[in-house]
Amino acid sequence: MNIVIIPGDGIGPETMQVSVDLLQDANQVFGLGLNFQHEIAGHDSLQRHGATVTDALLATVKAADGLLLGPMATYDFKDESKGEINPSKFFRKNLDLYANIRPAKTYPGIKTLTGPFDLVVVRENTEGFYADRNMALGHSEILVTEDVAISMRRITRVCCERIARSAFGLARQRQKRLTLVHKANVLRITDGLFLQACADVGKDFPDVVVDDFIVDAMMAHVVRAPERFDVIVTTNMFGDILSDLTAELSGSLGLGGSLNAGDHHAMGQAAHGSAPDIAGQNKANPFSQVLSAAMLLAWHASRSNGKPQYLAAAHAMEQAVSDCVAAGECTRDIGGKLGTHETGLALRRRLKAA
């Protein structure tokens, strides 16, 4: 498996180093045959190449089996005419990574506001209210006058059907329960199309039990009783908000892995930002990046018949995170006393001892 490694901005190089070290250990323990190609994007690429991402980099990623992307300084990149392109958006769009998979679960040893839960948010990744991916030319926000602005939402049957199929397939592998989240009482046409597409796809999954919630009510239900949910599927913006909420309910956004997947490519990406205020201080929590790397291995396992070692390695990496959290071998943001590097060493010890 050939993986392109892009460390990202801010705390990215620190958390990515932990992830790469752990992947190298997993490579030896499980005989994965991993090869790493180290590339740059974001501020480093802007300084060296005049753009945060390049066409050459895209070609490299397309030729690989997967991409591991560190957190990017997204808010710094405002003018694409000056090469300031959002790398995450760039890869999601150009690789057609239509499914954003965001697990959220509680860990023994982490104090939370709720009881134990284990759920996954499946978010459509390519349309919705996101102005940068709705139009063939330009974007879907319009300034009519200085005092009037309009934003358009694009929802298509094909995008709804494929995200629904991803969610139903995942639900079938878990507890066979799927929740649809929408605002069809107000967005009758667009969310109506989403619900109809989900219903049509659901005919192929009669063993999966389906319910649905209006998005504002869903936020309340998730805070009150997250344990009642298993797999949740929704449109882009609702999923963006809901996945951050559920990750934080689990104890920290830094505990949430994230995978952006399509039919032919996938990108493991930390769920959090680049946190420049603590960059280079050995304070950053590496778990989100590590869990995203594990998800990338699991995705490859699902595509590689006869290669169960990738799934075994993914589970071992996830277990190492759980064991470190339970033992308090983690960074201060989640109750530990270790630095980023030392947390990485603890992860490596536990994976090798598994």
Q: What value does the mean pLDDT take over residues 51-73?
A: 96
Residue 155 three-state SS: coil
Q: What is the CATH number of the domain that holds 76?
A: 3.40.718.10
Does the annotation mark 21 as catalytic?
no
Nearest to 324 by CA among 312, 335, 314: 335
Tell me whether residue 254 is in a domain.
no
Tell me whether residue 135 is in a domain.
yes
335 and 304 share a domain?
yes
Domain termination site, one of 249, 280, 314: 249
**Which residue among 105, 240, 310, 323 is the active-site one?**
240
Instruction: Give 327-348 as a DSSP string.
Output: HT-SBGGGT--B-HHHHHHHHH
124 and 204 share a domain?
yes
DSSP state of 207: T
In angstroms, rounded to a whole number, what is the distance separating the alpha carbons of residues 275 and 168? 35
Does the annotation mark 230 as catalytic?
no
Residue 241 scores a pLDDT above 90: yes
Q: How many helices (H) and strands (E) does the chain have?
A: 11, 12
In angstroms, rounded to a whole number, what is the distance separating the alpha carbons of residues 297 and 66? 9
Instruction: Give 80-101 as a DSSP string.
Output: GGGT---HHHHHHHHTT--EEE
**Which residue among 130, 212, 230, 323 is the active-site one?**
130
Tell me whether residue 265 is in a domain.
no
Tell me whether residue 264 is in a domain.
no
Better pLDDT: 241 or 303: 241
Q: What value does the mean pLDDT take over residues 147-170?
A: 96
DSSP state of 79: -
**Which residue among 244, 283, 307, 352 is the active-site one?**
244
Alpha carbon 162 to chain centroid, angstroms = 17
Number of domains observed in the structure of the chain: 2
Quote the domain boundaries for residue 164.
113-249
pLDDT of residue 102: 97
Going by pLDDT thresholds of 50, 70 and 90, the confidence category of residue 288 is: very high
pLDDT of residue 142: 87
pLDDT of residue 204: 98
pLDDT of residue 131: 66
Does the annotation mark 216 as catalytic?
yes
**Which residue among 200, 211, 216, 263 is the active-site one?**
216
Instruction: State percent of the chain over pLDDT 70.
Output: 98
In angstroms, rounded to a whole number, what is the distance separating the alpha carbons of residues 22 and 41? 22
213 and 316 share a domain?
no
Distances (CA, A) of 255 to 11, 251, 287, 324: 15, 7, 6, 12
Instruction: Give 27-47 as a DSSP string.
Output: HHHHT---EEEE---THHHHH
226 and 161 share a domain?
yes
232 and 314 share a domain?
no
Instruction: State percent of the chain over pLDDT 90.
Output: 86
- pLDDT tens digits for 105-128? 999 989 898 999 999 999 999 998
40 and 12 share a domain?
yes
Tell me whether residue 66 is in a domain.
yes
Tell me whether residue 107 is in a domain.
no
**Which residue among 89, 183, 283, 352 is the active-site one?**
183
Does the annotation mark 310 as catalytic?
no
Instruction: Specify the length of the chain in residues.
Output: 354
Sign of CA dihedral 319, 321, 327, 329: positive
* Burial 94-128, CB ≥16 within 10 A → b, else e: ebebbbbbbbbbbbebbeeeeeebebbbbbbbbbb
83 and 18 share a domain?
yes
Tell me whether residue 226 is in a domain.
yes
Does the annotation mark 183 as catalytic?
yes
91 and 128 share a domain?
no
Going by pLDDT thresholds of 50, 70 and 90, the confidence category of residue 65 is: very high
Going by pLDDT thresholds of 50, 70 and 90, the confidence category of residue 193 is: very high
pLDDT of residue 140: 81
125 and 243 share a domain?
yes
**What's the pTM value of the predicted model, to 2 decimals?**
0.93
130 and 234 share a domain?
yes
Q: How many alpha carbons lie under 13 Å from residue 183 in its C-beta half-sphere?
A: 15
- Average pLDDT over all residues of the chain: 94
Beta bridge partners of residue 2, listed in sequence order: 35
pLDDT of residue 133: 67
48 and 10 share a domain?
yes
239 and 281 share a domain?
no
Tell me whether residue 30 is in a domain.
yes
pLDDT of residue 135: 72
Range in 94-103, 232-241, 305-314 with the lowest mean pLDDT: 305-314
| Residue 223 in tokens | 């805070």
